[in-house]
Amino acid sequence: MKKSVVCSLFTAAALFAGSDEVERLKTQMHQQQQMIEKLLHRVDELENRNKKTQEQELNIRIETSGSRSASFAQQAFLPDIALIANMAAVGRNVGNEVYENYKIPGFIGNPGEIPFNPKRGFNLNYGELEISSTVDPYFDVAAALHIEKEGLHIGELFVTTRALPYNLRLKAGKFKSEFGRINPKHQHAWNFSSIPLVFESFFGPGGLGDEGVQIQWNLPTENYWMAGFEAMQGGNGRSFGNTDTNNLFIGYLKSSYDITDTNTLLAGVTYMHGKNPAGNTDIVGADLTLKSFFGSYSALTWQNELLWRDKDGTGKQAGLYSELIYDYNQNWAGGIRYDTLFKNIGNEPDDLERYMVMMQYKPFEFSKLRLQYTYDRSKWIDGERKDIHEILLGLTIEAGAHGAHAF
């Protein structure tokens, strides 16, 4: 290209100049060509030097990533932010003021605040702001902030380690306990609008979450085995509540086993020990889940959890739930759930039951509509058992960068 331009200019000049002028132009053209070649050579040198410098900086960053003196590109770890909104229209055969004062004999004397779908008619249950980010080579941080009329409420706020040896992970802050299957999940990730009766009775409608520390260890085995231990403050008043010092300790073991290429069995056991104002509380739990896959988006999940509690000042109680969920495809799912509190204290009833059926449509991964019917025989109103019928149409929206839910 450069030679063609030079030749063209020289030819044009030669047509309009004499022999002396031609020689002078030839000399000038030759000098300019040499200058251009020197400049191009200099540009190539600078480009190669810049490339080599970048490669050296990258190698230094990789080699020293475990040191505080490492060059750390903080701008590469901008936080993921998501906004979750949950709302529902509810029809119920019990008025709002009456429903707010239900009792579950032997378990719940007064429900207190009902956070999810308390009213007949329209309910804006919550907005949830989720923020998570890698902080540095050592820590991740995550928060779930509940947006309420009074302001923001901290649902979870914790840090987790990134690089502990021996497959260990440490968490500290306020978080939901990771025992079992349903407790670690937020309400928008449940398969039904309400937490199972036994979880509501033992821990409240949001499950068990508290300030504390957690350590988990993934065992170096062929199949998945994870052991976890948590020390928490014990502020949950349903089962504990003596918070003069941290008083709640939780240990659990989780495993999964692939029966076939399309069938997976998940199981876990849990033990909790804490204190309540009358003495000690011990809770034992077990969970069993069977998942069968029929395609990329089609699966059948049978999930079960049982909890047994021995609480000083109350006595021995137990309950379980069993739910069957069929994901037909990427958009449609349906399911049924059975709840029961089958062991109670004294002369209190031990046939406290609830039945649910739901159908769910997901236009896309981050939105879902759920139609649910509930028949509830667990609640007493004005001293008598009240059969409660409820129809719910719920909408959940998840906008922004939102992490995947547990398998």
15 shares its domain with 101: no
Which residue shows structure tokens 């429903």?
A: 99
How would you classify the pairing of strands 367-376 and 388-400? antiparallel
Task: Give the pLDDT score at 127.
Answer: 95
Whole domain around residue 222: which residue ranges?
86-123+188-400
- Angle value at C-alpha 303, between 301 and 304, nearest 5 degrees: 160
Name the domain boundary from 26, 47, 62.
Answer: 62
Give the C-alpha separation, 308 to 351, whole Å. Answer: 15
Task: Write the pLDDT tens digit of every residue in 112-143.
Answer: 889 999 999 999 999 999 999 999 899 999 99
Whether 167 is in a domain gets the answer no
Task: Give the pLDDT score at 404.
Answer: 61
Q: Please, what sign has the CA dihedral across residues 25, 28, 34, 38?
A: negative
Cβ-count burial of 307 within 10 angstroms (0-12 exposed, 13-18 middle, 19+ buried)?
buried
pLDDT reading at 402 higher than 90: no
Q: Are 268 and 287 in contact (CB under 8 A)?
A: yes
Give the C-alpha separation, 283 to 230, whole Å. Answer: 14
Chain Cα centroid distance, residue 281 = 29
User: Who wins on pLDDT, 28 or 364?
Assistant: 364
Whether 291 is in a domain gets the answer yes
Whether 254 is in a domain gets the answer yes
Q: Are 209 and 299 in contact (CB under 8 A)?
A: no
55 shares its domain with 96: no
Give the C-alpha separation, 140 to 162, whole Å. Answer: 7
Whether 181 is in a domain gets the answer no
Q: What is the pTM of this model?
A: 0.80
201 shares its domain with 243: yes
208 shares its domain with 263: yes
Task: Give the pLDDT score at 20.
Answer: 65
Task: Give the pLDDT score at 148.
Answer: 82
250 shares its domain with 394: yes
Whether 133 is in a domain gets the answer no
The interaxial angle of helices 19-63 and 2-15, nearest 10 deg, is: 160
Which residues contact residue 24 at a Cβ distance below 8 angstroms, ignoring those fewer than 6 apart?
A: none
Q: Are 247 and 235 in contact (CB under 8 A)?
A: no
pLDDT reading at 56 higher than 60: no
57 shares its domain with 95: no
Q: Are 228 and 219 in contact (CB under 8 A)?
A: no
Task: Write the pLDDT tens digit of every residue in 94-104.
Answer: 999 999 999 99
Which residues contact residue 148 at a Cβ distance below 8 angstroms, ignoring those fewer than 6 apart?
A: 126
33 shares its domain with 117: no
pLDDT reading at 346 higher than 50: yes
Q: Are 167 and 225 in contact (CB under 8 A)?
A: no
Task: Give the pLDDT score at 150.
Answer: 77
Whether 137 is in a domain gets the answer no
Give backbone dihedrals phi and psi of 189, rounded to 5 degrees, phi first: -100, -5
Percent of the chain with pLDDT over 70: 80
Average pLDDT, the chain: 87
289 shares its domain with 383: yes
Task: Write the pLDDT tens digit of every residue in 254-309.
Answer: 999 999 999 999 999 999 999 999 999 999 999 999 999 999 899 999 999 999 99
The mean per-residue pLDDT over the stretch 142-149 comes to 91
The mean per-residue pLDDT over the stretch 246-250 comes to 96
Strand, coil or helix: 99? helix
> Residue 24: what residue type?
R
Which CATH number characterizes residue 333's domain? 2.40.160
Cβ-count burial of 327 within 10 angstroms (0-12 exposed, 13-18 middle, 19+ buried)?
buried
Which residues contact residue 324 at a Cβ distance below 8 angstroms, ignoring those fewer than 6 apart?
A: 300, 301, 302, 303, 335, 336, 337
7 shares its domain with 114: no
Count CB neighbours of 56 within 10 A. Answer: 10
Give the C-alpha separation, 187 to 204, whole Å. Answer: 13
53 shares its domain with 193: no
Task: Write the pLDDT tens digit of every residue in 169-197.
Answer: 999 999 999 999 999 999 999 999 999 99
pLDDT reading at 203 higher than 80: yes
pLDDT reading at 53 higher than 60: no
Nearest to 363 by CA among 399, 330, 335: 330
Half-sphere exposure for 30 (CA within 13 Å, toward CB): 6
Q: Are 121 and 89 in contact (CB under 8 A)?
A: yes
Task: Write the pLDDT tens digit of every residue in 65-96.
Answer: 444 434 455 555 689 999 999 999 999 999 99
User: Who wins on pLDDT, 125 or 23?
Assistant: 125
Whether 258 is in a domain gets the answer yes
Chain Cα centroid distance, residue 88 = 22
290 forms bridges with which residues in the sheet? 265, 302
Domain count, the chain: 2
Nearest to 339 by CA among 125, 87, 111, 104: 104
